Amino acid sequence: MRFFSQILLAGLLSLAFLPQGRSTEPSGPALSSVPELERGYHLLYEQKFSEAREVFQKWAAQNPGEPFGQVSLAASFLFEEFYLQRVLTSDYFLDDKRFLGGITGTPDPGRIKAFQDAVARARALAMDRLKRRPRDPEGLYSLTLCAGMQSDADSMLLKKHLDGLKHLKEANANAGMLLKDHPEAYDVYVASGIAYYVIGSLSPSARFFLWFGGIHGDKQLGMSQVQKTAENGHYLKPFAKILLALSARREKLNLLAQKNLKELAEEFPGNAVYDTEYAKAMGRPIPTTMGPAN
């Protein structure tokens, strides 16, 4: 009996030292759960932007080689400006002039600069990782999200639509490389999904012009990509849910909109935007008004 036990133990030890494949590859913060970052993003979706930034800044300082810290800081500035400009609301999404042309006012210059500076730092760190390891998942993940955020900022806030399209192509290229090795990186789908949807909502003549530039709009594809993040994403899952819900309202897909808004309102009860949008989608009186961001 002891002999068989020794054989079994030896077999187990030999398995432990065999090459294990992709699943044992060490995961960085963008592809795994980091409690500090989870807390920061929860604060972000509660519209506690300053508090979220403090969390991200502390984590980035403690992990200076990780680009995702700077990606998260950039997201905090972008989401705050989206909030102040009412971008993630039905007032914006259901107004074709604003939805297809951008905000009516101008974004805060200081906040935009802070966003762009954080993106530049994230890009530098990501490129450094990719120089050392060409298919580094953290580098590709961060570059994808940077390009996706820049595309959103360019098209929605700055009205630099051609620059937004260039960043869209970059996001798609990096996401494609990442997903070949890490199909579980569902957050990256939202980076290009909303852009595909917006371009697909343009007039046929505008889409025809963009087609020659290699940019293809497709509302159905865009919503399906956003839905992948909304259902299986990580840090950007709530962001994808609000985008999906508002797009669904444009397409008169009321049940899909109501489902996602209900989940957001329940997960973030202090977020007046989600409560308000859920009430609108249900045809109920608006329970509260949106207050200023902190």
pLDDT digits (tens, 9 = 90+) for 59-79: 999 999 999 999 999 999 999
What is the band of 291 on the pLDDT scale with cuts at 50, 70, 90? Answer: very low
The CATH superfamily assigned to 34-282 is Tetratricopeptide repeat domain (1.25.40.10)
Q: DSSP string spanning 160-214?
A: -HHHHHHHHHHHHHHHHHHHHH-TT-GGGHHHHHHHHHHHHTS-HHHHHHHHHTT
Question: What average pLDDT does this structure show over 32-37?
Answer: 91
pLDDT of 1 strictly over 50: no
Structure confidence at residue 9 (pLDDT) = 35
Q: Provide the pLDDT for residue 127.
A: 98
pLDDT tens for 10-28 read 333 333 333 333 333 445 7
Q: What digits encode the pLDDT tens for the residues 105-139? A: 899 999 999 999 999 999 999 999 999 999 999 99
CB 226 within 8 A of CB 197: yes
What does the alpha-carbon distance between residue 196 and residue 191 come to, in Å, rounded to a whole number? Answer: 10
Lowest mean pLDDT among 5-9, 139-143, 242-246: 5-9
pLDDT tens-place string over residues 184-225: 999 999 987 887 888 778 766 555 555 545 556 788 999 999
